[in-house]
Amino acid sequence: MLYPVTNQKRIAISLNGLWNFDFVDLDYDAKVKLRKPRQIGVPSSFNELFTTKEERDFVGKVCYEKIVTIPQNISNVMWRLRIGAAGNRSEIYMDGVLIGKHNGGFLPIDLSLPIQKDKHEYRVSIVLDTRLDYQTLPVGEMSDDGPNPKQTIHYDFSNLIGLHRNVYLYCVPDNHIKDIKIETKLHDSYAKVQYAIETNDEVKKVELIDPHGDVVGRSSLMKGTIRVENPSLWDIGKGILYQLKVETEHDVYTESFGIRKVEVKGNKLLLNDKAVYLKGFGMHEDHVTIGKGSISALNIRDFALLKWIHANSFRTSHYPYAEEMYDLADQMGILIINEMPAVGLNFWSSKQVFNEKTVNKESREVYKKQFDELIERDKNHPSVIMYSVANEANTHEEFALDYFSEIFEHIRSKTKLPLMIVEWVGAEENKVAHLADVIGLNRYIGWYVDFADLSVVESKLKNELTSYHQKYNKPIILTEFGADTVMGLHQLPSVAFSEEFQIEFIEAYKKVIDKLDFVIGEHVWNFADFSTKQGLTRINGNKKGVFSRDRQPKMVAHWLRKAWEK
Ligand code: GCB
């Protein structure tokens, strides 16, 4: 899947901006246009824009509608619609005719448009279904025992819905390049760049361009290997990118990539044969007013803060992020653990998650399809160094192994990158962790257990990490640890929720992990405060951010900046 671009053979027209919008019935089919629409901004989540609780908390379907004009006098092209993400399930109509359906809110939809001769204006309707169930990712539960559908989610971020990412109308030549897959292999003084072009056109020229813009390799085959002598490697803080420029008879496309090697060996994560230690965060796509909307200026701010604090990595907790985040990470040399939207696989009760009636075979097929879409989208990003298969699933359940064995097998058939699973259950009862290359642990000692008591962190945390390591003998990343902190709340001696306590909390954890050499990374929870469903422990959202929701530092940010500078 190639990102829409404008070049000498292709045109990409942004459809971001104002759209018509309304809340619609569950059987809405877009045959007639919205009667009294209001306007909405794309990209954004609708939940954060309006003023009533009914609008914010709406469960059901919403419709985005826009009149789209196809430019005239461009011949022998195919027009397509590219929606960066549309959750949770979506239906796409053109003049009321269904042209596509999608399950999943965090990966792109790319459709060819049935354009008629001499007709230039079309009404595009994108109907989004906010509901989550056992056959979606994230997993949620629906109950219909009242007049209105009721949604239960068992995970900790708001179910924000909208056209969150860029929407493009774009065209490609009828005979065009469909995809380019690039893999690099590192040898002593050279690298092999293997590429495969998917096209219904004839390949004329393939050029490998180095970071200075010089052509350092050539071919004219659909599939091949180009050797690069003394390559400049993509690395932490070094977003060194090469390009593969492909020309076919009718089309041209340039894809960026980096030359780097990722491997897990013993208890180490190796990047270009050197051990790396991950410093950074679990993040969220979450901003004031635009919700899960992805906007360049705000993404740039996040990367500026990552750099300022000396982070070298982040996990896309708990779903794949907008493509631009990966482009920026490629350019800045930031490592990404790319997480599947497999969250909510835990009802925090005795009710079984992995079961014929709940998360079942059909759910597993949904997972596999979404992984295929993820890898198709992200395969050429050097910043992606690992995939995270799930967050805090009930891996102690009887049928969890069955579910995850097939998932791991499927993922391994599509990528050679290391795989991680993020765990909350203890080492002993875990039935799945042996399938992963790296184990992620989320721990909240001194918060959800032993609240406000940091004296127990040292022994308990050491114990938990060591027991996982002894049982599985795999490297471990502390993927979550943190304390809710109200910005501006200071107290001496510290109390929970104060900025002083947040520093003491992180410091106590760091003291333990700094001494354990099988711990290969620390990701503080969370990069920034974020929106969640309402709850007794949530004062307007999750406040474990090192930065506030509007991206200003709490005291701990300055502390971490010093600690991570080393
Ligand atoms: C977790 C979850 C994360 C939550 C966090 C918390 O274990 O993985 O999604 O936000 O705890 O703050 O409770």
The neighbouring-strand residues paired with 414 are none
Q: Is 544 in the pocket of ligand 1 (CB under 6 A)?
A: yes
Cα–Cα distance, 220 to 464 (Å, whole number): 55
Which of the listed residues 153, 156, 477, 544 should we mutate to test ligand 1's pocket, taking the one with most ligand atoms within 8 A of CB? 156
What is the 3-class SS of 181-239, one letter each residue? EEEEEECCCEEEEEEEEEECCCEEEEEEECCCCCEEEEECCCEEEEEEECCCCCECCEC
Over residues 195-246, the pLDDT tens digits come to: 999 999 999 999 999 999 999 999 999 999 999 999 999 999 999 999 999 9
Cα–Cα distance, 275 to 438 (Å, whole number): 14
Residue 302 banded pLDDT, cuts 50, 70, 90? very high
CB count, 10 Å around CB of 446?
24
Helix crossing, 555-565 with 499-513: angle to 10°? 20
Residue 519 DSSP SS3? strand
Q: Is 330 in the pocket of ligand 1 (CB under 6 A)?
A: no
Q: Is 151 in the pocket of ligand 1 (CB under 6 A)?
A: no
Nearest to 527 by CA among 551, 508, 561, 555: 551
Task: Give 246's Cβ-side CA count (13 Å radius).
Answer: 25
Over residues 57-95, the pLDDT tens digits come to: 999 999 999 999 999 889 999 999 999 999 999 999 999
Q: Is 531 in the pocket of ligand 1 (CB under 6 A)?
A: no
Cα–Cα distance, 408 to 389 (Å, whole number): 8
The residue whose CA is least distant from atom 3 of ligand 1 is 156
How many Å lie between the centroid of ligand 1 and the Cα of residue 526? 9
**Could you give the residue numbers annotated as active site?**
392, 480
Over residues 238-259, the pLDDT tens digits come to: 999 999 999 999 999 999 999 9
Q: Is the dihedral of CA 285, 334, 246, 196 positive or negative?
A: negative
Q: Is 479 in the pocket of ligand 1 (CB under 6 A)?
A: no
Mean pLDDT for all residues in the chain: 97
How many Å lie between the centroid of ligand 1 and the Cα of residue 134? 20
Provide, rounded to the nearest whole percent, the portion of the chain with pLDDT above 90. 97
How many Å lie between the centroid of ligand 1 and the Cα of residue 532? 10
Q: Is 499 in the pocket of ligand 1 (CB under 6 A)?
A: no
The residue whose CA is least distant from atom 7 of ligand 1 is 442
Q: And the tokens for 105?
A: 């809110």
Query: Using an 8 Å Cβ cutoff, are 385 and 417 in contact?
Result: yes
